Amino acid sequence: MSSRGSSAWLLQRVTGALLFITLGTHFYLYHYFMGPGMWGFDSIGFGATDLATLKAMMESNPEMAKYYKLAHLFAAPLWKVFDVTFISLGTYHGFYGIKAIIDDWVTHDGWRSVANWVVYICGVVLWVMGIVAVISFNPELF
């Protein structure tokens, strides 16, 4: 095994282990901390951009308070760092996994090379789309 192959092998394990934590957090937040009823733009507080409106919304329904806190979390820099990390780990791990399957199954050198390039380009394009969506997300600019 080449040294490049073994470092890619190790990286697949490391990103996999980190995804265990980041995907777990992601899944918990969207499916258990808040359910589908809270997925709307206004219901998670994005509509209330000024503090006075937000405060009035929270006072009218104290149960909603935790979701409004979450709305601010989404636009917070630390949360964006989390999402950028998560998307990077996910696209790398996922597309490297597809490449590994191609390496196992496509025996023709030329076709394997073509397939790997397609996977590589798709992975990079998707990564850029994800990063741009997360970084540019700012409900106050809407």
Partner 1 sequence: MYKIKEGMLAWILHKITGIAIVAFLIFHIWSMSKMSKGPEAFNAVIETYKTPLFRAGEVLLLGGVLFHALNGMRLILGEFTAWAMKQHKLLVYLTYILAGALFLVGAWFMWRAEG
Name the residues that contact partner 1, by CB under 8 A.
13, 16-17, 19-20, 23-24, 27, 31-32, 34-42, 46-47, 63, 87, 90-91, 94-95, 97-98, 101, 122, 126, 129-130, 132-133, 136-137, 142
Compare residues 24 and 56 and give the one whose CB is closer to partner 1.
24
Rounded alpha-carbon distances, angstroms, from residue 106 to 58, 99, 119: 57, 10, 13
Compare residues 5 and 40 and give the one whose CB is closer to partner 1.
40
**Closest to 93 (Cα-Cα) out of 10, 6, 24, 25:** 10
In the bound complex, what is the minimum distance in angstroms from residue 13's beta carbon to partner 1? 5
In the bound complex, what is the minimum distance in angstroms from residue 92's beta carbon to partner 1? 11
* 74 CB burial (10 A radius; 0-12, 13-18, 19+): middle
In the bound complex, what is the minimum distance in angstroms from residue 68's beta carbon to partner 1? 13
Compare residues 41 and 111 and give the one whose CB is closer to partner 1.
41
What's the token pair of residue 49? 């951009």
Compare residues 61 and 113 and give the one whose CB is closer to partner 1.
61
Q: What is the DSSP string of 68-128?
A: HHHHHHHHSHHHHHHHHHHHHHHHHHHHHHHHHHHHHH--SHHHHHHHHHHHHHHHHHHHH
In the bound complex, what is the minimum distance in angstroms from residue 138's beta carbon to partner 1? 8
